[in-house]
Amino acid sequence: MGNNKKNKRGARGSCKEETGTPKQPNMAATAEPISSELASLAGPTLMEEIPGQKESSIAPVEPSLIELREMLVDIKIDICNILRENEAMKNNMDELKATIRGQNVEIANLRASLNKAIKQFDDAEQELAETRKIVDQQEEEIAELYDLQDHLEQYTRKNSLEIHGIPEQAYESTEEVVLKLANALEVPVCQQDIEISHKLSRRKGVKPIIVKFVNHKTKTNLYKARTKLKNVSFSSLFPASTAAARVASGKIYLFESLTSYRKKIVNKANEMRNDGSILSVWTMDGKIFIKTSPEGRPIKINELDDLDYL
């Protein structure tokens, strides 16, 4: 291995140094302590034995001092690197522990905020339920008020009728129309039976006439006679009317005066009658009735939704 390599020969322990130094007496005695020291540092001696050769051919391999020093230096370097890595790992562990502590604090704060939010949500949900209950009660009260208002308004209309299909250029006063129509239907009505009458405003078409009678009996008698209107024409009521009035006139109808809500019900029922869903629709004293078949009994309609469940 290098200049310090030694070869043992025979049992006398003599050796030669390859450096060219003259042979020294008792060299084996000097080399044995060194070899022992090196052997103790380097560990067991590595020996290779070739089969068929004598004992003198066994050549021990021993590391030199320089190689040992290099090995020690490498070990020290490895130890220093390990220590630095351990120190860095310790610092990383400290930072990780600090981060974990911070996250634990943050999690605790978030948990507290979440609990607070949950409590606020529960309170709001309870308040919403109470508010919804109040709103439902108020909606019921409003519906009852609307229903009461509709009944009261209809009660004020109980003595009133509406006349449709007579153009305004055909007459001078609305009372004239009422008296002529009553006469054509053979219902005794005088001017004293009429409390008030006037034209209703309408954007398009012939304006209808509304008449309010002094008593309910007169109104009912005239309304029940409406079935005779099929035999009454505009020209028979106003034979002296102009051609323009006759063109503008239409079929004459007699209706009870209804509230706007009840008119919606009647209009929808008429649409269903035109579609064939029901047979007929009519009103009596503000109440709405329909029939779905000739043999069927009259059905009273109180609300729009009632028409959806026929």
What does the pLDDT look like over 68-84, one tens digit per residue?
Answer: 888 899 999 999 999 99
Q: What is the mean pLDDT of residues 258-276?
A: 96
Query: What are the Cα distances from residue 34, in Å, to 14, 22, 56, 70?
Result: 15, 19, 21, 18
What does the pLDDT look like over 54-70, one tens digit per residue?
Answer: 454 555 667 788 888 88
At residue 59, the pLDDT reads: 57
At residue 62, the pLDDT reads: 75
At residue 118, the pLDDT reads: 95
At residue 57, the pLDDT reads: 52
Percent of the chain with pLDDT over 90: 66
Question: Would you say residue 14 has pLDDT above 50?
Answer: no
Q: Are 279 and 296 in contact (CB under 8 A)?
A: yes
Q: What is the mean pLDDT of residues 186-202?
A: 94
Give CA–CA dist 310/304, Å, rounded.
11
pTM attached to this predicted model: 0.60
Average pLDDT of the residues of the chain: 84
What does the pLDDT look like over 85-119, one tens digit per residue?
Answer: 999 999 999 999 999 999 999 999 999 999 999 99
158-257 belongs to which CATH class? alpha beta
Q: What is the mean pLDDT of residues 237-265?
A: 91
